[in-house]
Each structure stands twice: as C-alpha cells, then as structure tokens.
Amino acid sequence: MHAYKQPSATAAPKPESGGEWGSIDVQVCLKAQPVDVKGTISWAPWALIYADGAVVTASNSIYSTFPKPQMPNDSRIIPVGGCIRGWVTFPARTDAKPTLIEYQPTDVLIDWAVT
C-alpha cells in the first residue's frame, strides 16, 4: 500500500452509507504464476478494517471524481513479472479511522496497517 486518503473524492456524491469517501493507493505484482491462483486483480478483494471489527468493502459505485489512476474494478489479468497500481475507493466511516487495509483475493489474506 502506498497511501490512504480520507476524505477523498469530495466532489462525488456522498456514499449511501452516509460516511465519506476514503481511498487507498495500492500496487499488486505477480512475480511467478501460482499453481492454483489466477493472476488477476479487481476492487472486490479489498476492504477497510476498523478497530471495532467493522469491515467496509470497496465501493460498488465509481465516479469520475474518484482518485486516478483507478485500480481496475473488473478482473484484469496481471502478466507474470508485471504490476498494476491504482486507487480503490471505499464508503468510509467518519466516526473512526480504519486500522488495517485488507487484501483477500482467494484463501490468502494480506493486510497493512494504516498510519
């Protein structure tokens, strides 16, 4: 993870949850082709984790005012040796800051502390 920004996309319509937009700048690289895992990336496996255990998944909405470049929101193939970097946006809470960013593309779980 390169960065977490909240609020982000302040010109976009407010999230339906009533919070505000928060965005992460992330990069995923595929160094070798795993046997049972496709080398694909999308918004779906990303989540914000809060200290109280709440989980907020990536937005289903995409607005032109979201930070760019955006991580693909559909499943994109990552070539072996390649990387994809972009922003993923969430309907974040305003009453607390997330403590972790979680990436769970299959049965693998990777997380980063939010600083």
d(CA 54, CA 48): 8
Q: Return phi, psi of residue 92, to 5°.
A: -75, 155
d(CA 50, CA 74): 26
pLDDT of residue 34: 59
pLDDT of residue 15: 96
Tell me which CATH code domain 3-113 carries.
2.60.40.1240
More confident residue, 36 or 67: 67
d(CA 72, CA 75): 7
Give pLDDT tens digits for 48-103.
999 999 999 999 999 999 999 999 888 888 888 888 899 999 999 999 999 999 99
Note if the pTM is more than 0.85: yes
d(CA 81, CA 74): 20
pLDDT of residue 29: 85
Examine residue 7 and say whether the peptide bond preceding it is cis (omega within 30 degrees of 0). Answer: yes
